[in-house]
Structure 1
Amino acid sequence: MQFSTLIALTVATSMAVLFATAAPTGPKCGTGCPTVYQPICAKAVDGLNKVFVNACELKNFNCKHPKANFAVVAESDCKDFVAIDKRAAASASPKCDTICPTVYQPVCARAIDGLNKAFGNACELKNYNCKHPNANFVTIADSECKDIPTPTPVCNKVCPLNYEPVCAKIQSGESKTFGNACELNVYKCENPTDKIELLASAECAAASPACAIACPAIYKPVCAKHSNGDLQTFGNKCELSVFNCKNPAIAFSLVTEGDCDAN
């Protein structure tokens, strides 16, 4: 009887060891962590932030929740980090493709820069503003814009007092010195239809003239006289003009068309 019992116990023990050996072992996620507070801010795969007491607590959490897969963002709490919920962000994106009715009910809208623009209807205006938020058109009339004048631009007239002169050619063709680039921009704003060209970042008197270089290769000689009475022949009037432009202190004046030696 005792021998049978001994055999039975031996078999039972062997079976227990066999099952214990064969059974799969999962990860041990209950590692004891220290109670010291060394906060860790971590971010999950969905963009949400979570603070853990220390790195050990984070490791245990990821072990127990492998799908969360929190990654360290900073060795601090999360108060200075904005959580981004990717799912919420995707659903919050504006939809600018609203299907508008085909009915023509024009609206005139004005952008922040003063430009007027007509839209087929209010729905089209809404879609446009959604796609171009910086334009920010605002309805000013339930009609087309043809009878609504564009307002005169409001020009900034407050410029710094520093004197950094610039020279520009204005509509009349004359050169004009402005105290600085800001003053030139104000002038352009107040004269929007004028053709204004910047010549130099200096006073007009000190600005070097823009002298033409390319003259036609046609020999039509002209005779010119220097202020001291000397005569000189130039290939054509263009060459005389370029010479005088580049040498204003010794300018020649036209005497006659033709070679000086022939006169």
Structure 2
Amino acid sequence: MPMAPKTKRNLVTAALVGPSALWLFVFLVLPFVAMVIFSFGERAPEGGYLPAFTFAQYANLPARAAAFWNTLMLAPVGALLCLLVAYPAAYYLAVKADPRYRLMLVSLVVVPFWTSLLVRTYAWMYILGSRGIPNLLSMIGIEDVRMLNTPGAVLLGIVYGYLPLMIMPIYVSLEKLDRRLLEASADLGAKPVSTFFSVTLPLSLPGVMTGVALVTILLLGEYLIPQLLGGGKVFFIGNALVDLFLQSRNWPFGSAIAVTLVLVVVLVLMVAMRIAWRVSGSRQVDLV
């Protein structure tokens, strides 16, 4: 008996989606469920997990308030600085750059990703360290300038490390912009600044929101940049998790912080999608 078309389509869909769904279930859903279970447990005397059911780990979250505060303050600020640097660059690439050289310029934006973030961050450690910029400043009479192990150094590393992730979504939005709208605005007597704020910026907001959401979500779990450029003095949630799981071996408390971080990321994503939906008038799947 021949197979019904609907059944055949369902089988094809299951065959295509099944491997990805299985991968996500095993490596994303199950670990998260394990973290949730651990978060209600207690720390074993030798470290690790002791089965229990208690909310003590969540009640103890204020003990890591500094890590939460630094993350929730510096991550949005870092995303905003990335946006301020990325938007002019993306605008130039999409609107002003010569089409003959556009592909090469876009490639230059991606080139830093070919090098490990660890290596690039170590380079900034040298530049901001005592033998880098502070040493040059001391030669011209500006003494005792400390740039490394400060929030400013962390923000600089964030902008440098995550800038391409902000540029590309904005560039895609601007590159798809209908140039006839800009010409129509100019024909109606609008000045370039008015055209930008009334036409270009609103139409590129989906790309802006995608870039901001992407960078902010990744920064909420950042570990490497605060560790190297902050010198342990600028503590992010990622640093707290490494300390709790590897040093203190307090798995339940670390799991409670990790679950809270996941909830914060989901909240940020929902807010970003809501804002994108309101400013564009339709839901933006780019943010998912």
The TM tier, using the shorter chain, reads under 0.3
**TM-score, with normalisation over the residues of structure 1?**
0.17
Query: Over alpha carbons, which structure has the higher Rg?
Result: 1
Structure with the higher strand share, 1 or 2: 1
TM-score (norm 2): 0.16
Identify the structure with the greater helix proportion.
2
